[in-house]
Chain A
């Protein structure tokens, strides 16, 4: 079957891709700026297209626990929300990570803290990458920078989630959620119906019973389990790092930015290069695992790094860890729902890195 071209908002493209990926169920609760996900799924009637369940839960907490249940049965399930709603889901996310279950969570980030604003932000980076809930766990975190990637990362996130039996998060923002761009869709996939050997789908005579839990009161077993999780996260760091570079070959200065900020940064690079500033961009696609090695290598080539984020400076900490003091690393950010302009990025590159 041919691929199909549409003009869509990021949220709608995500929802369409969810149906086409052969997803079993979506559980969610509306919140700006991601409400189009639930609206689109409801209007599309995926139960008629693939048999997929779409349910508006009574709350975010209910939705994530429905995801926990569906994931425990080995189903391809997801939820979506925006920042305050994602905070409400953190207990469930920690349980899902602790029970080693695959699922997809979309966060269309808005400005915080608290109810904050409905405008775009990237201030949930710490929450997404450092464990927003309790305990030593990690999410696989993918950061789309276009409407196309809002669609493409659905299948990628599910693939990684099932490969590692770990929750995966797509960390987007209000701008990518609300913006319309061209998007190509893969043909519709059937729901697999495949039974996962670890899932609680009813014990048969030929196997031991499967148990899904995040509770083990024996500290020695719990430590062994934690060691196993850490081994899994190390394996992700070795195998699953994804990133993109832009005009880095001759770069003397480097911008590091993801999502909407990386788009603004590309324009800034174009403007900077018109003034003769040799600047490039590294865009992390996976925020966990983070492209630390690649940034460290680029630090041997460039004179300084500026991170561009819609936050007070969160990812900059991971960039500094990656660079480990080799060269100056500075941060430029806007907060509260303001998107930095390309002009501001160039000004800050000059002031904080080139002139510094």
Chain B
């Protein structure tokens, strides 16, 4: 099994840390992992993206043009990466701030209103965990127990009191993600 994922959005949405939690979780279940971020000026307020690869085999290229799954969290990312999904692949997006919905018919498109849900949960920082929950519902490549361990490992200890709300965010994401026809 190899799952090649691009996660893209605004800097500050937790794109890179979401990828990091996935990579940690992959390690928990003995997978090979790679986490390749965009770095530099684009991280400072602009767009941020990260390529995460989870595999049972040695990972060749950590840099890809075509992905199994694209998680796209703003309009620029949707414009840039919708075409980068493999035919038959998966696209997950949050409708917030989107002026043009995904158009591809040869891929499975899922919508997750994570921004709205994060506001409902009164914690904007849970946004990325809601998205991750949604992803895991569609692609259960990572076991929830490993994701929780991964989350714990990648959060500094001073934030460990936030683990319960993040866990709740993961399960809310699983509930609210829905497929578009």
Q: Which chain A residues have a beta carbon within 8 Å of chain B's beta carbons?
A: 5, 7, 32-33, 118-119, 174-175, 178-182, 260, 263-264, 266-270, 339, 341-343
Q: Is the CB of A180 within 8 A of B34?
A: yes
Given the known interface contacts A7-B24, A180-B20, A182-B32, the answer about A263 and B62 at a Cβ–Cβ threshold of 8 Å is yes
Q: Is the CB of A178 within 8 A of B33?
A: no
Q: Is the CB of B64 within 8 A of A342?
A: yes
CA distance A119 to B36 in the complex (A): 12
Give 18 A-B contacts (CB < 8 Å), ordered by A residue: A5-B27, A33-B40, A118-B40, A175-B36, A175-B62, A175-B63, A179-B34, A180-B33, A180-B35, A181-B33, A181-B34, A181-B35, A182-B27, A260-B62, A263-B62, A267-B61, A342-B60, A342-B61
Q: Is the CB of A7 within 8 A of B60?
A: no
User: CB within 8 Å of A: which of B63-77?
Assistant: 63-66
CA distance A266 to B57 in the complex (A): 13
CB of B178, distance to nearest CB on chain A (Å): 32
CB of B100, distance to nearest CB on chain A (Å): 25
CA distance A118 to B40 in the complex (A): 7
CA distance A174 to B39 in the complex (A): 9
B37 at the interface (CB under 8 A from A): yes
User: CB within 8 Å of A: which of B12-48?
Assistant: 20, 23-24, 27, 32-37, 39-41
CA distance A119 to B37 in the complex (A): 11
CB-defined contacts of A118 to chain B, threshold 8 Å:
39-41
Q: Is the CB of B60 within 8 A of A266?
A: yes
Q: Is the CB of B39 within 8 A of A266?
A: no
CA distance A176 to B41 in the complex (A): 18
Q: Is the CB of A178 within 8 A of B36?
A: yes
Residue of A nearest to B58 (CB): A266
Given the known interface contacts A32-B40, A118-B39, A119-B40, the answer about A179 and B27 at a Cβ–Cβ threshold of 8 Å is no
Q: Is the CB of B63 within 8 A of A343?
A: no
Given the known interface contacts A5-B27, A7-B27, A343-B65, the answer about A178 and B60 at a Cβ–Cβ threshold of 8 Å is no
Q: Is the CB of A178 within 8 A of B39?
A: yes
Which of A119, A269, A342 gathers most chain B CB within 10 Å? A342
CB-defined contacts of A270 to chain B, threshold 8 Å:
60
Q: Which of A5, A180, A341 contacts B63 (CB 8 A)?
A: A341
CB-defined contacts of A5 to chain B, threshold 8 Å:
27
Q: Is the CB of A342 within 8 A of B65?
A: yes
CB of B88, distance to nearest CB on chain A (Å): 16
CB-defined contacts of B40 to chain A, threshold 8 Å:
32-33, 118-119
CB-defined contacts of A119 to chain B, threshold 8 Å:
40
CA distance A270 to B23 in the complex (A): 23
CB-defined contacts of A266 to chain B, threshold 8 Å:
60-61
CA distance A33 to B62 in the complex (A): 17
CA distance A322 to B174 in the complex (A): 57
CB of B34, distance to nearest CB on chain A (Å): 5
CB-defined contacts of A341 to chain B, threshold 8 Å:
63-65
Residue of B nearest to A118 (CB): B40
Residue of B nearest to A246 (CB): B60
CA distance A339 to B62 in the complex (A): 10
CA distance A210 to B118 in the complex (A): 69
CB-defined contacts of A32 to chain B, threshold 8 Å:
39-40
CA distance A5 to B153 in the complex (A): 13
CA distance A296 to B23 in the complex (A): 40
Residue of A nearest to B52 (CB): A180
Q: Is the CB of A264 within 8 A of B35?
A: no
CB-defined contacts of B32 to chain A, threshold 8 Å:
181-182
CB-defined contacts of A339 to chain B, threshold 8 Å:
63
CB of A39, distance to nearest CB on chain B (Å): 14
CA distance A180 to B27 in the complex (A): 12
Which of B33, B36, B60, B153 gathers most chain A CB within 10 Å? B60
